[in-house]
Amino acid sequence: MKGDDEIEFGKLKISAVPGAHEFLEKNANGAYFNLGFAVKKNDICEVVIEDIGSNGEGIAHADGMTIFVPFALPGEECKVHILKVKDNIAFAKVIEITKSNEERALPKCPYFEKCGGCNFMCLSDQAYYSYKQNIIEKLGFKV
């Protein structure tokens, strides 16, 4: 345990938010395991983005839970605020990117984060084409 204010749980660090720890139990080895869902609405967590979804959102996994994080890229380490939890998925927003993806680019449009029309604008052009090709291949199409 990191201290009274933070618990490491798999790839997830759960900060001291009231009620955040109520689903965790400590085993004989001192490791924490899940009694239910580890994250709740309004938790602040640190996650590593593993993949990118078809809508441009970052995808992280933590102990059986999938967390969708708009504007986050694979390989990035982010501090996120959990906005909604439903079954085994959660939706979060980025508070801080602690380790950035080298393919991240400054969006060309000043309305990028507000509009929602250009989900991949934070990627360099080459990375954009690579990620789009990867998404098409995941759907089972040959490129």
Task: Report the alpha-carbon distance of residue 143 to residue 137 in Å, rounded.
Answer: 7
- What pLDDT is recorded for position 26? 53
Task: Determine contact, residues 39/46, Cβ cutoff 8 Å.
Answer: no
Task: Determine contact, residues 122/104, Cβ cutoff 8 Å.
Answer: yes
Ordered strands of the 6-9 beta sheet: 6-9, 12-15, 44-48, 77-86, 89-99, 65-69, 58-62, 51-52
pLDDT digits (tens, 9 = 90+) for 56-113: 899 998 767 899 999 999 999 999 999 999 988 999 999 999 999 988 888 888 888 7
- Among 9-18, 35-44, 106-115, name the one with the lowest average pLDDT: 9-18
Count Cβ neighbours within 10 Å for each residue of 26-57 and write b for 16 or more, e otherwise.
Answer: eeeeeebeeeebbbbeebbbbbbbebbbeebb
pLDDT digits (tens, 9 = 90+) for 113-141: 787 677 778 888 888 888 888 888 888 88
- What pLDDT is recorded for position 48? 94
Enumerate the β-bridge partners of residue 51.
59
In terms of Cβ atoms closer than 10 Å to its own Cβ (0-12, 13-18, 19+), residue 11 is middle
- Among 3-7, 17-21, 98-102, 120-124, name the one with the lowest average pLDDT: 17-21
- What pLDDT is recorded for position 58? 93
Is a pLDDT exceeding 80 seen at residue 24? Answer: no
Residue 135's SS3 state is helix
- What pLDDT is recorded for position 8? 55
